[in-house]
């Protein structure tokens, strides 16, 4: 695609691009917003370095992609009800969401995407990886795609709860915030998900949340799910991003996974996240 209002630098063959030429602290004009949305559809995750955002300007940028919602298991920052803090303190050993996952697949209408703003980053470490569900689906064999086509999978908020969130349940932004709902929140969605904008199909599974295929036991599901988890996160399906303070990322949960690396113990990292509401997967 040709872009006239923004500059694009692709990060990896599978997905990911850095965008320059736009100041997200200011209102984004209609033409520029249209190009950003086109790039979003093409690259799945976009990065904007050197930004200086308030909670209000972060929310305004996120609104370019659709209606905004809330994350059910964390309290927002005092300055804005739609912005949640994602913090790892130096004493904590687990990081928020520290497994390969897509956000909120356990909801009947999972989020469309998220906007993450880096307010404080460690001196080293703390990268995030993304994986393309499109490329994962398209590189499966024809026979396996035919097997998966009619299948749905169960997505559970309780799966890997302790591994993902144990420090944050004790003394982070998740402390006491609807935590009891984690054990009952789950939904079933197609394994092959059709994107409502591009029409492409993506492998829609989440290693952090997918427990089994609908109508299969967890034991029966495990061998195939393990293969699919390793396939979607294979190196050729991914990109890796090194954060700097002031970077903004927006990603498409409908066709990508992400994995925040937990390799910076003893250092502090603070991000602010805004959730973009989504639709029921088909």
Query: Which residues does the annotation mark as catalytic?
Result: 101, 103, 258, 273
Residue 50 CA to residue 128 CA, distance in Å, equals 18
Euclidean distance between CA atoms 130 and 259, whole angstroms: 6
Neighbours of 89 (CB within 10 A): 14
Phi (first) and psi of residue 144, to 5 degrees? -70, -40
CA-CA distance, 85 to 55, in Å (whole number)?
Answer: 11
According to DSSP, the residues that pair with 273 across neighbouring strands are 84, 116
d(CA 131, CA 100): 9
Query: Quick check: helix, strand or coil at residue 154?
Result: strand
In angstroms, what CA-CA distances link 127 with 39, 77, 212, 260? 22, 23, 29, 6
**In this structure, what is the dihedral angle of CA atoms 271, 255, 154, 189, given to the nearest 10 degrees?**
130
Close Cβ partners of 216 (under 8 Å, ≥ 6 residues apart): none
């Amino acid at each position: 695609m040709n872009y006239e209002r923004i500059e694009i630098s692709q990060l990896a063959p599978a997905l990911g691009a850095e965008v320059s030429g736009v100041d997200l602290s200011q209102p984004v004009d209609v033409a520029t917003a249209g190009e950003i949305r086109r790039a979003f559809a093409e690259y799945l995750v976009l990065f904007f370095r050197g930004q200086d955002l308030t909670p209000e300007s972060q929310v305004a940028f996120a609104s370019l992609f659709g209606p905004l919602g809330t994350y059910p298991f964390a309290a927002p920052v005092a300055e804005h009800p739609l912005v949640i803090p994602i913090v790892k303190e130096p004493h904590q050993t687990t990081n928020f969401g520290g497994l390969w996952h897509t956000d909120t697949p356990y909801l009947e209408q999972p989020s469309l995407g998220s906007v993450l703003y880096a307010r404080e980053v460690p001196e080293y470490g703390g990268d995030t990886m993304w994986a393309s569900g499109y490329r994962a689906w398209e590189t499966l064999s024809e026979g396996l795609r035919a097997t998966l086509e009619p299948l749905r999978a169960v997505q559970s908020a309780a799966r890997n709860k302790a591994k993902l969130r144990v420090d944050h349940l004790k003394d982070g932004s998740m402390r006491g915030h609807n935590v009891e709902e984690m054990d009952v929140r789950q939904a079933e969605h197609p394994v092959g998900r059709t994107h409502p904008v591009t029409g492409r199909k993506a492998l829609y599974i989440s290693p952090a949340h997918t427990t089994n295929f609908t109508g299969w036991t967890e034991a029966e599901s495990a061998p195939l799910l393990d293969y699919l988890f390793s396939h979607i996160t294979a190196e050729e399906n991914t990109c890796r991003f090194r954060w700097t303070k002031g970077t903004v990322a927006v990603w498409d949960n409908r066709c990508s996974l992400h994995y925040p690396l937990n390799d910076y113990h003893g250092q502090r990292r603070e991000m602010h996240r805004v959730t973009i509401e989504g639709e029921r997967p088909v």
